[in-house]
Amino acid sequence: MGEHNKFSDDNILRKCKHAVLDSTLIFINSKIKTIYSYEKEILLKEMKLLKLKQNQKVKSKANYNKTFLNKTLKEIFSENISTKYSRHSPSHNKDIIEMLINEKDEIEKSIFTKLFNLTFLDCLNHFRGTIILDDLQGMNQLHNYIKEGNIDKDDKEYCNIFNYFINNFENIIMSKKARNRKSINNI
């Protein structure tokens, strides 16, 4: 059994999820800022989606990741926000999303409804460039993500492995077998 390090499958899969979710969050917030640029700056700050608790990114169980592929952005980003945002309600993102998809302006409502109905897999495909979606036009993609220094480009081996995992994410996830964990009662 090898050493558990940054090259371990679970750590690279977690980094892949993190890359896609962070890029998506930044994109959504820029979309909100663009559409609501006429609003007062204070209101605009409150309309920003905040980072989530780490549990969705960290969970690496096979069955969880298989279902995560088809989770919508609404489901993903409606989870509780990080506890570091003590001035905001844990349901801050959920409240913002509900407001955006129930917008009175039909055009704005349509934009956000389409956006939040996209799945993690849709975002992953757009991120790596396999399927470019109009609704995600302007979202950061893999080549820029690496170029910006989010992945150590000097570490060629890690860069190559990260690229491989991003480009084969679904296959890697689907090939994972769920382990039968013994419950405490069975011991």
User: How sure is the predictor about 141, in pLDDT bands with cuts at 50, 70 and 90?
Assistant: very high
The residues, any chain, with a CB within 8 Å of residue 23's CB and separated by 6 or more, are 123, 127, 139, 140, 141, 145
- Residue 50: predicted pLDDT: 92
Q: What's the pLDDT tens digit per position in 117-128?
A: 999 999 999 999
Segments making up each domain of the chain, as ranges? 21-178
d(CA 141, CA 4): 28
- Which range, of 20-24, 29-33, 148-152, 167-171, averages the lowest pLDDT? 148-152
**Residue corresponding to tokens 């769920």:** 178
Q: Does 41 score more than 80 pLDDT?
A: no
Q: What's the pLDDT tens digit per position in 53-80?
A: 876 656 667 788 889 999 999 999 999 9
- Residue 3: predicted pLDDT: 76
Neighbouring CB atoms inside 10 A of 143's CB total: 11
Q: Which residues pair with 119 in a beta bridge?
A: 72
**Residue corresponding to tokens 């084969």:** 168
Contact criterion met (CB below 8 Å) for 39 and 47: yes
User: Which whole number is the average pLDDT over 94-104?
Assistant: 94
> Which residue type sits at 86?
S
Q: Does 7 score more than 60 pLDDT?
A: yes
Q: What percent of the chain has pLDDT over 70?
A: 87
Q: What's the pLDDT tens digit per position in 45-60?
A: 678 999 988 766 566 6
Contact criterion met (CB below 8 Å) for 56 and 13: no
User: How sure is the predictor about 39, in pLDDT bands with cuts at 50, 70 and 90?
Assistant: low
